[in-house]
Amino acid sequence: QICLSLVKLLFYLAHSPLGSIVLLDFQPRQFVMVDGNLKVTDMDDASTEELSCKEDKDCTLDFPTKSFPLKCSAVGKCEGINEKKNLFNAYRYFFTYLLPHSAPPALRPFLGDILNATGDLRYGINETLKAFEKVLHLYKSGLYLQKRPLLLKDYISLKGFRTVEGEDYKCWPSYSHLGCLLSVHSAEEAAAICNSQSQCQSFIVTQRRTWTGRPLASFQSSLTDLIPDANAVVYIKRSTSSGERL
């Protein structure tokens, strides 16, 4: 969410009515999330000036660990230097820390491609936004889920009940520090996640939603007290221990 919002912001800056705007003091502390959108808190160090040049060798974009040769345009300006500077700073301050760690495994190659392409400045902001929107579509639609055996049939479903949420085993990247609360596309994906975790014996797909509209599923190592809830379903692994508890 943070990276996509940042890319949308940089897309606007690259195509603003004032021209391409560069953030000269590009640091994470310069940004804040407001209602799910990333905002710049200080525009004092923003500039629309693009580096003047006479030939291509005047247009080297230097960073502490990398340098990029750019073209000198016919009007004597380094082509796209403001856009590219913003994008590489987004890569080194945000993408490298946030992109690789919390996506479903099937989506990580797509994010890896974005990471590599922005790190080498092979993508401009237009291509980067398009790539992010593709990943978001795959994520929200569930199209990233590979065809696999249906696992939900291995679970007993108790309709009209939910479990008491409390401290349980931890998982990454959980939305709760008390236990294992993950975003899922469906109960079928939740069953696959539960099967992949040795501690998991039951789960419930909650009514809570993430910013993408996906529900949150709570995974538990044992059945706690059941509470009547007309809108809920508890899924329990079909095992001897589960049968005994029922």
Catalytic: which of 25, 42, 45, 58? Answer: 25
The 10 Å Cβ neighbour count of residue 190 is 26
- Short-list 49, 111, 107, CA closest to 78: 49
Residue 25 annotated as catalytic: yes
- Short-list 187, 164, 168, CA closest to 177: 168
The residue count of the chain comes to 246
Helix H or strand E encompassing 195: helix 187-196
Residue type for position 13: L
In angstroms, the CA 220 to CA 164 distance is 10
Region of residue 102 (phi > 0: left; psi between -120 and 50: alpha; otherwise: beta): alpha
Residue bearing tokens 């809108």 = 231
Helix H or strand E encompassing 32: strand 31-34
b or e along 68-77 (b: 16 or more beta carbons within 10 Å of the residue's beta carbon)? eebebeeeeb
Gap between the terminal Cα atoms of the chain: 40
Residues marked as catalytic: 25
